[in-house]
Amino acid sequence: MRGHQAAGENLARAAGHAVARVVALIVGVALMVLGLAMGVSLVLLPVGVPVGIAGLLMFLWGVYPPLPREAPAEPPGRQRPA
């Protein structure tokens, strides 16, 4: 029964990551549009540029997948206990 529970946990974790990335895409586009709209006004330009850049970074975070995590390498000469 433990195998089914582990598969369910992995599925829930993957779905949570996917939802977070979709939300990052939507919020990133909204911030870029807001930054562009603020940048049109000369008064709000100093605020619009950082908002637009933050939106771009959030959008890029949502587009690119995370790097795979690798297990830390064992130092040479050390072996795991059996």
Residue 47 · residue 10 · CB < 8 Å: no
Cα 9 → chain centroid: 20
23-68 pLDDT per residue, tens: 999 999 999 999 999 999 899 999 999 999 999 999 999 999 877 7
In terms of pLDDT, which residue wins out, 31 or 9?
31
Which whole number is the average pLDDT over 12-24?
90
Residue 38: its pLDDT value, please? Answer: 95
Residue 62: its pLDDT value, please? Answer: 93
Domain-by-domain residue ranges, the chain? 21-64
Q: Is the dihedral of CA 16, 22, 25, 29 positive or negative?
A: negative
In terms of pLDDT, which residue wins out, 2 or 40?
40
